[in-house]
């Protein structure tokens, strides 16, 4: 892979990788760091990654970096941060998009990742399996379970409108 391929990769995929990571961890600063680390790893492997494999390499690298970050942060306790939303009272429905994002946030981490890769980024089951390290059938099961949860959480569309 050449430097031109790398620059084109940055232009083509940086926003998509950032959106995927941001949807998963909901922290802009950490998402930018993970994207930067992913591109740095790609730069280090510049000679070994084929140009047609750059996108999957980036998403796979970013996904694993995100998992590592989440695992590290799991044991860290922050006392200064308070959640203002937990103290507010919402009596009605604000926005369907907000409800959907809220529902996606309640999914377990692996289900959230595969549903974001499938429905937000448009990857095939096989590509998702390659990115996450799961089998294709596991990916299908997680996506099915996530969709069932979302359907149950959101309920009938007539109720929301």
pLDDT grade, residue 49 (50/70/90)? confident
Q: What is the pLDDT of residue 157?
A: 59
Report percent pLDDT > 90 for the chain.
9
Q: CA angle at residue 132 from 144 to 101, to 5 degrees?
A: 55
Q: Which tokens go with 158? A: 């007539």
DSSP state of 46: T
- Alpha-carbon distance of 75 to 34, in angstroms, equals 19
Which domains, from first to last, does the chain contain? 1-79 (1.10.1740), 93-161 (1.10.10.10)
Q: CA angle at residue 36 from 130 to 73, to 5 degrees?
A: 80
- Alpha-carbon distance of 53 to 146, in angstroms, equals 28
- pLDDT tens readout for residues 107-161: 888 999 898 888 888 889 999 999 889 999 999 999 999 988 888 888 765 555 5
Q: Could you give the angle at which helices 136-154 and 96-105 cross, rounded to 10 degrees? A: 130
Q: pLDDT at residue 102 above 80?
A: yes
Show Cβ contacts of residue 127 under 8 Å, excluding neighbours closer than 6 positions: 56, 117
Q: pTM score, two decimals?
A: 0.54
- pLDDT tens readout for residues 12-35: 888 888 988 888 888 888 888 888
pLDDT grade, residue 79 (50/70/90)? low
Taking residues 54-76, what's their average pLDDT? 83
pLDDT grade, residue 75 (50/70/90)? low
Do the Cβ atoms of 103 and 150 come closer than 8 Å?
yes
Q: What is the mean pLDDT of the chain?
A: 81
Show Cβ contacts of residue 22 under 8 Å, excluding neighbours closer than 6 positions: 28, 31
DSSP state of 80: S
Q: What is the pLDDT of residue 140?
A: 92
Q: What is the pLDDT of residue 86?
A: 53
């Amino acid at each position: 892979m050449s430097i031109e391929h790398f620059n084109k990769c940055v232009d083509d995929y940086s926003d998509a990788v950032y959106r995927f990571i941001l949807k998963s961890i909901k922290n802009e600063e950490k998402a930018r760091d993970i994207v930067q680390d992913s591109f740095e790893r790609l730069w280090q492997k510049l000679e070994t990654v084929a140009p047609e494999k750059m996108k999957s390499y980036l998403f796979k690298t970013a996904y694993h970096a995100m998992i590592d970050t989440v695992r590290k942060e799991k044991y860290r306790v922050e006392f200064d941060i308070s959640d203002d939303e937990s103290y507010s009272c919402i009596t009605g429905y604000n926005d369907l998009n907000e409800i959907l994002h809220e529902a996606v946030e309640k999914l377990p981490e692996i289900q959230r990742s595969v549903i974001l890769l499938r429905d937000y980024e448009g990857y095939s089951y096989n590509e998702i399996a390659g990115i996450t390290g799961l089998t294709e059938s596991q990916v299908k099961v997680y996506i099915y379970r996530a969709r069932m949860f979302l359907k149950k959480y959101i309920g009938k569309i007539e109720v929301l409108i």
